[in-house]
Amino acid sequence: MRLVVAALLVSLPLSLAHAQATDAARRLAHDAIVVDTHIDAPSELIDHWYDLGEATPSREFDYPRAREGGLDVAFMSIYTSAEEDDAGTAWQSAHTQIDAVEALVQRHPDRFALLRSPRDLARLQKGGKVLLALGMENGAPIGDDLKQLAAFHARGVRYITLAHGRNNRISDSATDTAPRWHGLSPFGREVVKEMNRLGIMVDVSHLSEDAIRQAVEASSVPVIASHSALRHFTPDFQRNISDANVKAIAAKGGVVQVPFGSIFIDAGAAQTYSTYLREREAFRMAQQAAIAAGKTATGTEPQMPTLQPTALAAVLDNIDRVVKLAGIDHVGIGSDFDGVSGHLAAELHSVADYPVLVAGLQQRGYSDGDIRKILGGNLLRVWTAAERAATP
């Protein structure tokens, strides 16, 4: 997810987060395989080039802090918007972002490597590298051409979020004003089938309830929710996942990757964000209507209000509930770093702070073995299953 807002987030000092990470938590974070399935760096690199191989304090992901936090695999989010889909530029945008990730690796071959298969993880990690995998947020770049799935797979894309903020050719979105397909489109079912064939994980984050259920049913392998929290804690926020669909994802062997963004994990923040989305959509529709009527579009686009910081406990509560509903084998992390404009749990400022999460999990009684599953083991299991079932 990429949230562009004008407001500043009230936050706690960075030093506080580090003070809460115990030595035991740091050791486990560095010894475990940490896989974060959603970091929005690529679109940021297009807007403004940052050398993320060096310390980049204005961003939430860079190499020095990734190493500090124990991050091993960072899924770079290749995000395209509904507006880019409408304009026919999503395909170009996606390839340009992949180019940017490749350029980052080429600039720092001693610090980064591209990860295309979990089989290569141990080999590529040598020398302290952070491994960059690719996840495509929004299926818009494939247009209506199934062959584009193979093309993006060849470039390294290993999961695709079927839709984003609005309905598309593939699927209904959780946050559009009304359903278009009442789940997946007929083309969307073909997309899921082809993704299964290629070994691309099906990502159901951002999808409507019906679309999530249908994607799970249509897939022959486990699916993921790359960055989704639970609607149990945010009852009116459709973007989050219902208990029923958490169970459905788990029953198929999949995993729910819990994000750190306040809008996902805090009921007040989610309500504020939902109101902002409705107001922004109403503004967009009014602008379009004015233009269609030959009038000059007027008005000021709504801006996201300031959010108060959310505590780490909200992230832990979501993890606890997924475990309660589905079991320890079906939960992971998908932070949304660099995607929610700093609107994060107060103790989780950047990729340096996974040890803080580990400390919180330890305090709640999770064993080291279970924490290893949450940090990355569960996601690697699903990725491996998708790869093994592929028949390219």
The pLDDT assigned to 204 comes to: 98
Whether the predicted pLDDT of 18 surpasses 60: no
Mean of pLDDT values over 136-140: 98
The pLDDT assigned to 1 comes to: 63
Q: Kindly report the backbone phi and psi dihedral angles of residue 93, in degrees, each rounded to the nearest multiple of 5, phi listed first.
A: -60, -45
Of 229 and 1, the one with more pLDDT: 229
Mean of pLDDT values over 19-34: 92
Of 34 and 236, the one with more pLDDT: 34
The pLDDT assigned to 8 comes to: 37
Q: Kindly report the backbone phi and psi dihedral angles of residue 196, in degrees, each rounded to the nearest multiple of 5, phi listed first.
A: -60, -45
Q: Taking the C-alpha atoms of 204, 141, 61 and 74 in order, what is their torsion angle to the nearest 10 degrees?
A: 60
Mean of pLDDT values over 117-141: 97
The pLDDT assigned to 281 comes to: 78
Whether the predicted pLDDT of 334 surpasses 70: yes
Burial of 6 (0-12, 13-18, 19+ CB in 10 A): exposed
The pLDDT assigned to 2 comes to: 60
The pLDDT assigned to 225 comes to: 98
Whether the predicted pLDDT of 94 surpasses 70: yes
Top CATH class, 14-272+308-388: alpha beta
**With a threshold of 0.85, does the pTM exceed it?**
yes
Contact in structure between 366 and 28 (CB atoms under 8 Å):
no
The pLDDT assigned to 286 comes to: 84
pLDDT digits (tens, 9 = 90+) for 64-88: 999 999 999 999 999 999 999 999 9
Residue 184 DSSP code = B
For the chain, domain boundaries: 14-272+308-388
Q: Mean pLDDT score of the chain, rounded to an integer?
A: 93
Contact in structure between 232 and 194 (CB atoms under 8 Å):
no
pLDDT digits (tens, 9 = 90+) for 241-281: 999 999 999 999 999 999 999 999 999 998 888 888 778 87
Alpha carbon distance 201, 224 (integer Å): 7
